[in-house]
Amino acid sequence: MIHYVQRKHLDVSKYNFCIENAVQSKVFAFSWYLDIVADHWDVLVLDDYKAVMPVPWRSKFFIKYGYPPFWILELGVFSLNEKIGIQSFLDVLYGKFRFIESRLNTRNHIEKKSPHLLTKEMQVLSLHSDHDAILNTYRKDRRKDLGRANTSGLKAKWGDAPEQLITLFKNNVGQRTPNIKKADYQVLEQIMNICLVKKIGE
């Protein structure tokens, strides 16, 4: 049975265990990450944390609505077993919220069509193969560009402070994304600092 669990009543260790061991595991779904990026968030929980669906939410005029926070690409259902479907989670979700916008993860499969669901494409590059196998999937002109980059004297430099990487992001992607606010960059810096402490994404 699926239960709606408020963040304050969440068994954090069971929840994070489910996220870490889920077939669909993503850093965006860990409790510490959601605590940073979401105004509020609760969780739909199947039985004793066999599967979970984190739901970031806000309230406007006393109406709760689900929203996708900045710096989260995917959420959806996270389960210890691939056979757990998401439709029952969506049914409970529609009963709890008048409006919900969420980005399901790429491992969630919609069983039945609904006028509430909008399908969009997202490109995902799997890094499970070796470098040469990945390179062979690129178009010829992209491989040529990478070859030029290798011979142009560019250096890969890792370990920059979060502030420097955020400045680089602001001056490139940030210029094309007008709705990023100063507070969003502060949240990003907080995420990066915690990831460095946890040794995630170095």
29/149: higher pLDDT: 29
Q: What is the pLDDT of residues 66-115, one digit of tens each?
A: 999 999 989 999 999 878 888 889 889 988 888 888 888 888 877 777 77
The residues pairing with 59 across neighbouring beta strands, listed in sequence order, are: 64
One-letter amino acid at 184 equals D
Query: At a CB cut-off of 8 Å and minimum separation 6, what does 195 contact?
Result: 27, 201, 202
Question: Stretch 54-76: mean pLDDT, rounded?
Answer: 92
pLDDT attached to residue 41 = 97
Question: Stretch 30-40: mean pLDDT, rounded?
Answer: 96
The H-assigned helical ranges of the chain are: 12-21, 31-37, 87-96, 131-136, 140-151, 162-171, 182-198
What are the sequence ranges of the domains in the chain?
2-100, 162-198
Question: Stretch 142-149: mean pLDDT, rounded?
Answer: 84
Query: For the whole model, what pTM was predicted?
Result: 0.83
One-letter amino acid at 48 equals D
How many Å separate Cα 117 from the centre of its chain?
Answer: 18
Of the listed ranges 15-24, 106-115, 167-176, the one predicted with least confidence: 106-115
